[in-house]
Structure 1
Amino acid sequence: MTAASSAPVLEVSGLTRAFGGLVAVNAVDLAVQPGQIVGLLGPNGSGKTTALNLISGVLRPDSGSIRFAGQAIAGMPAHRIARLGLARTFQLVRVLQGMSCAENVKAGLAFHSPPLSRSEIDESVERLLRRVGLADRAGVPAAGLTYIDCKRLELARALALKPRLLLLDEWLAGLNPSELLIGIELIRSLKDEGLSVLLVEHVMDAIRSLCDRCVVMNSGRRIAEGRPDEVLADPAVIEAYLGVSTDA
């Protein structure tokens, strides 16, 4: 493997953001290697979504560096970061309910670089909807979709960017057991295609099944990093989630 191919697709160093007196993200370091799924874990309020917002350009960091595919992106507008090949989904599903599924995906393709022809757009819409299991829903209004299909549609729109890195913010949350299995297999298939993923998730079965490495946050700080089995057995991680010490 060459040095270029082994370089992190995402490298975050000293990332910090405060809101008034609350330091939501406090000097966090993390990296995602090409083709990896990295879990970003922690109890509610630990700063995980804020970290994703900083990486994707929704928020500007107070300090620290963010390098995506070797390029410094800290403070860059979200639309420019998206065009570089960094896509995301949101904790609260965001689909354009007044549009059909096909039109939602077309909205994502508007950020494609270079711009696509009309025939290329139509082909891409069909391929992306088929990719997430919505091949028969192209003309269906997004407002009429089930919860899991809304998540699939949001994912298709994110994949329209042909991203190198995908940020998933609790994409598996709220799914029933059978839907969860479908969602896990879909994410795993993205990795099999070479896509790198930074995954915020509370579903531990998914973390154990999908993640190559995990970074755990608590109160804005990174408190652990390693393989899923290592970090989930770490006393500091157990205490952060359960609020009790494992020392007895």
Structure 2
Amino acid sequence: MSAPLLQVNGLVKRFGGLVAVNGVDFSVAQGEIVGLLGPNGSGKTTVINLISGALPPTAGSVALQGQALTGLPAFRVARAGVARTFQLVRVLGSMDCVENVQAGLAFGTQNLPQRASRAQALKLLERVGMADFAHTTASELTYINQKRLELARALALRPRLLLLDEWLSGLNPSELVDGIALLRSLREEGITMLMVEHVMEAIRALCDRCVIMNAGSRIADGPPAAALAEPAVVRAYLGDDDA
């Protein structure tokens, strides 16, 4: 069996006396879409921040295809092949969409000249359904289109691993269908995904496995139906009286 693309071992993050992540272990295989689930405050986004280099871990390790990422700054993690979106969308509001994606390309490893960078940015915007907004200033976009722009910028890094933090939240039913189809097509192109998500329709449609957290610890890991049915997971979401 080949080594996993992502390996997380004993990950711990303390903020003073608060243990936000407590000894979390899991792996993600090449080509998988894995859901990182749990109630609000369970530590999911902190795990994403630790993997992406936005935060240093207190203890534990993160490796991408055997390459240690632990403690590396975010730009080096990105160049190693990890890209992400954010729970609170982060776009460069004063720039247009093409320039936003070109900013992502500038952090990659391709080192494209200006004309090629612009052409590649336009292709990526088309890939996420934003071709008609290429010259729109990012601050003028709707929330949903800002999410699409942020995804295009993440794809500009040509990631081996894409971290999605509630990218599908806030979509209406038709947008959700389109979003699920887009993520499925990215997987077909070889992109592995770890996604924090609360939209159960998307989890069931996309995820091969779910890693479920509560109070900073992993409480389940398996196919969606089996993992969500674990007694500890039911208690975490519904409480003891309803379990």
Which TM-score band (shorter chain)? over 0.9
Cα distance in 1, alignment partners of residues 158 and 52 from structure 2: 15
Residue equivalent to 2:107: 111
Deviation, structure 1 residue 246 = 5.1
- The answer on whether the counterparts of 1:172 and 1:201 sit within 8 Å (CA) in structure 2 is yes
- Counterparts in 2 of 1:66-85, with a 5 A limit? 66-85=62-81
**Could you list the per-position Cα deviations for residues 99-130 of structure 1 after superposition, in whole angstroms to 9, with x for gaps in the alignment?**
10001001101111131122320221111001
Range 46-55 or range 118-127, more displaced: 118-127
2:118 aligns with 122
Q: Name the residue aligned to 1:178.
A: 174
C-alpha separation in 2, matches of 1:87 and 1:112: 10
Count residues with an aligned counterpart.
243
Asked if 2 retains the 8 angstrom alpha-carbon contact of 1:235 and 1:246, the reply is no
- Relative to the length of structure 2, the TM-score reads 0.97
Q: Give the Cα–Cα distance (whole angstroms) in 2 for the partners of residues 46 and 114 of structure 1.
A: 37
The one-letter code of the counterpart of 2:177 is: L
Report matched runs for 1:53-68 at 5 Å: 53-68=49-64
Counterpart position of 1:16: 12
Q: Which residue of 1 aligns with 2:158?
A: 162
User: Which residue does the alignment assign to 2:191?
Assistant: 195
Gaps of 5+ in 1: none
> What CA distance in whole angstroms lies between the structure 2 residues aligned with 1:128 and 1:158?
10
Give 5+ residue unaligned stretches, structure 2: none
Which position in structure 2 is the counterpart of 1:240?
236
Letter in 1 for 2:100: N
Please tell me the residue identity of whatever aligns with 1:38: V
The two structures have a TM-score, normalised by structure 1, of 0.95
CA RMSD between the two structures:
1.1
Amino acid in structure 2 at the alignment position of 1:150:
Q
Equivalent-residue separation in structure 2 for 1:133 and 1:191 (angstroms): 17
Instruction: Give how far 1:69 is off.
Output: 2.0
The CA distance in 2 between the partners of 1:172 and 1:136, in whole Å, is 21
Counterpart residue type for residue 156 of structure 2: A
CA-CA distance at 1:245 after TM superposition: 4.7
Q: Is 1:47 aligned with 2:43?
A: yes
Other-structure match for 1:35: 31
Amino acid at match of 2:33: I
Moved more, 109-118 or 213-222: 109-118
Q: 1:221 aligns with which of 214, 217, 224?
A: 217
Partners of 2:54 and 2:96 lie apart in 1 by 26
> 2:210 is aligned with what amino acid?
C
1:42 is displaced (CA, Å) by 0.2
Q: Is this contact kept in 2: 1:148–1:175, CA < 8 A?
A: yes
Q: Deviations over 1:180-229 (max 9, x none)?
A: 11111111111111100000000111100000000000000000010001
Show the counterpart of 1:92.
88
Q: Distance in 1 between matches of 2:173 and 2:231?
A: 28
The list of structure 1 runs, each at least 4 consecutive aligned residues, that deviate by more than 6 angstroms after superposition, is none
Contact 1:14–1:28 under 8 Å retained in 2: yes
2:206 counterpart (198, 203, 210): 210
Partner of 1:151: 147
Q: Equivalents in 2 of 1:244, 1:101: separation in Å? A: 48
Residues 1:246 and 1:236: Cα distance change in structure 2 (over 3 Å): farther
Letter in 2 for 1:79: F
Query: Counterpart of 2:235 in 1: which secondary structure?
Result: helix
State percent identity of aligned pairs: 63
